[in-house]
Amino acid sequence: MPLEDSLNRHKDSLLAALEVDDRARLDAQLPELRSADIAEILQDLLEDEDALRARALLDCLPLERQASVIGHLHGEEQLAFTAGMGDDRLQAMLEEMGADERADLFKVLDDDRREALLRRMAHQEREELKRLASYEEGTAGALMTSDYVAIPAGMTVSRAMMRVRQTAPDAETVYQLYVIDPEGRLAGTMSLRQLMVARPGARVDDLMIHDVIHTTVDTPQEEVARVVARYDLLALPVVDEARRLVGIVTHDDALDVVESEATEDIHKGMSIGALEDGVSRVPLWSLYRKRVTWLVLLVFGNLLSGAGIAHYEATISAQVALVFFLPLLIGSGGNAGAQAATLMVRGMATGDVGVRDWGKLLGRELLVAGSLGLTMALAVAPIGVFRGGETVALVVAISMIAIVLFGSLLGMCLPFVLDRLGWDPATASAPLVTTMIDASGVLIYFSIATLLLSGG
């Protein structure tokens, strides 16, 4: 298994061979490497601003391999290679690519280049490319490929088998077959496994599953991935508004979606907008913009906490020991609340938690948060006695329970409220929740303090 070290060794060796133009060594070594690995070496070179050697390395590969490697790169990186290619070579490479990767590459090219390429294509090829490239990013349409095996309804098993053999080199997967009616509508599906053990004279219509799990072109990609995961699918067929089969989303693409959606959710949980690339590659300006928005918005939330503190100046001067416990109380409330919000947001994203579960989850959170608050109160009470006497200890302990309980319930409910308002529940990020709890925590703490200390 190619670990980072082994990949670096390969890279060094390849670059050394390139240096002295040792074609024999390059030709011997390159076939040993997988496209994903070569792509990573090229990415490394681009990150080191060594586009020249990256291009030279790519040129050493056969065209089919070049297409596969380019397919593993991100848009910006692809442009670093295509910029120097003539239209002829680019067109030849596009032809070697899978339909979905071809469309992805096509989308990052500039208009002139697209026009030049489209003019060189046959009508059908052109229309298919334009169609695949037209779907909105993040939908099933943008994810799918048109390289699937379609079997006309009514075909016999033996003829379907011949069709599979013919399509084998081009199709993304030949292991799941889709039966279409004369209007191109999805009529059924069967696995190659079923086909292989079936009687050659039987008709596919009698073998296929009629009730096919499918999705539509405009379905969001996270939902597509969830269906693939739920039913352990090799591929999920995609239909248009007339139920015509227009593509399939394969298991490897679903896996990539789950990974990238999780990354997006994790970033959102910390009030970072969706990045268009990995954190080590995304432009600094973009990284700044995606982080600054909420940071500045939350300034106003934090000003509320400050105003709260200012409002209770008299209480604070009367009992300065109270300030000592302020960070502890609002910090604990914020942490417990962020935990509760995170549990809900992730539960909703994976489908584990639905809006109908709200009541039940509220009851559970009350119990857990109550226990958490009680534990923290017990932990902090002795310190309260030590720093400010028994009354302060009582104020701190009661405030701890109240703030942890309030914070947890706020954190738990916020994602549901946002969802209800048609917002993304993930907006209930840790920074937003903790800022809200900081401000309310100040009020809760000093209200309890004013009440108990003035009365005592």
Q: Which of residues 377-416 bind its own copies (CB under 8 A)?
A: 379-380, 383
**Nearer of residues 232 and 241 to its own copies, judged by Cβ:** 232
- The answer to the question of residue 115 lying near its own copies (CB under 8 A) is no
Query: What is the nearest approach in angstroms of its own copies to the Cβ of residue 296?
Result: 6
**Do 189 and 209 touch, CB atoms closer than 8 A?**
yes
Query: What is the nearest approach in angstroms of its own copies to the Cβ of residue 42?
Result: 15
**Nearer of residues 68 and 117 to its own copies, judged by Cβ:** 68
| The one segment of 110-118, 124-132, 362-370, 415-423 that binds its own copies by CB under 8 A | 362-370
**Nearer of residues 164 and 394 to its own copies, judged by Cβ:** 164
**Nearer of residues 300 and 423 to its own copies, judged by Cβ:** 300
- The answer to the question of residue 28 lying near its own copies (CB under 8 A) is no
Q: Of 60, 118, 153, 287, which one interacts with its own copies (CB under 8 A)? A: 287
- The answer to the question of residue 208 lying near its own copies (CB under 8 A) is no
Query: What is the nearest approach in angstroms of its own copies to the Cβ of residue 434?
Result: 7
- The answer to the question of residue 331 lying near its own copies (CB under 8 A) is yes
- The answer to the question of residue 25 lying near its own copies (CB under 8 A) is no
Query: What is the nearest approach in angstroms of its own copies to the Cβ of residue 58?
Result: 19
- Beta carbons within 8 Å of 104's beta carbon, 6+ residues apart: 71, 75
Query: What is the nearest approach in angstroms of its own copies to the Cβ of residue 174?
Result: 5
- Residues 239-258 contacting its own copies, CB under 8 A: 251-252, 254-256, 258
**Nearer of residues 20 and 284 to its own copies, judged by Cβ:** 284
| The one segment of 73-81, 120-128, 133-141, 370-378 that binds its own copies by CB under 8 A | 370-378
Strand bridging mode 149-152 / 176-180: parallel
Query: What is the nearest approach in angstroms of its own copies to the Cβ of residue 138?
Result: 18
Which of 262, 263, 228, 266 lies closest to 143, judged by CA? 228
Please name every residue paired with 244 in a beta bridge, in sequence order, or none if there are none.
Answer: 185
Alpha-carbon gap, residue 272 to 11, rounded angstroms? 34
Alpha-carbon gap, residue 382 to 397, rounded angstroms? 9
Alpha-carbon gap, residue 104 to 96, rounded angstroms? 14
- The answer to the question of residue 62 lying near its own copies (CB under 8 A) is no
- Beta carbons within 8 Å of 355's beta carbon, 6+ residues apart: 416, 419, 420
**Do 146 and 247 touch, CB atoms closer than 8 A?**
yes
**Nearer of residues 119 and 193 to its own copies, judged by Cβ:** 193
- The answer to the question of residue 431 lying near its own copies (CB under 8 A) is yes
Q: Strand, helix or coil at 180?
A: strand
Please name every residue paired with 186 in a beta bridge, in sequence order, or none if there are none.
Answer: 180
Which of 177, 202, 201, 173 lies closest to 190, judged by CA? 177
Q: Of 29, 263, 447, 450, which one interacts with its own copies (CB under 8 A)? A: 263
- Alpha helix positions (H), 171-245: 192-197, 204-207, 221-230
- The answer to the question of residue 101 lying near its own copies (CB under 8 A) is no
Phi first, then psi, for residue 246 (nearest 5°) are: -120, -10
Counting every residue, how long is the chain? 456
Alpha-carbon gap, residue 215 to 349, rounded angstroms? 19
CB burial of residue 118 (10 Å; 0-12, 13-18, 19+)? middle
**Nearer of residues 27 and 87 to its own copies, judged by Cβ:** 27
Alpha-carbon gap, residue 281 to 294, rounded angstroms? 22
- Residues 305-324 contacting its own copies, CB under 8 A: 305-307, 309-310, 313, 316, 320-321, 323-324
Alpha-carbon gap, residue 172 to 166, rounded angstroms? 13
**Nearer of residues 156 and 263 to its own copies, judged by Cβ:** 263
**Nearer of residues 103 and 333 to its own copies, judged by Cβ:** 333
Residue pointed to by tokens 């990052």 = 108
Query: What is the nearest approach in angstroms of its own copies to the Cβ of residue 387?
Result: 8
Alpha-carbon gap, residue 245 to 60, rounded angstroms? 39
| The one segment of 50-58, 83-91, 169-177, 448-456 that binds its own copies by CB under 8 A | 169-177
**Nearer of residues 168 and 451 to its own copies, judged by Cβ:** 168
Residues near its own copies (CB under 8 A), total:
113
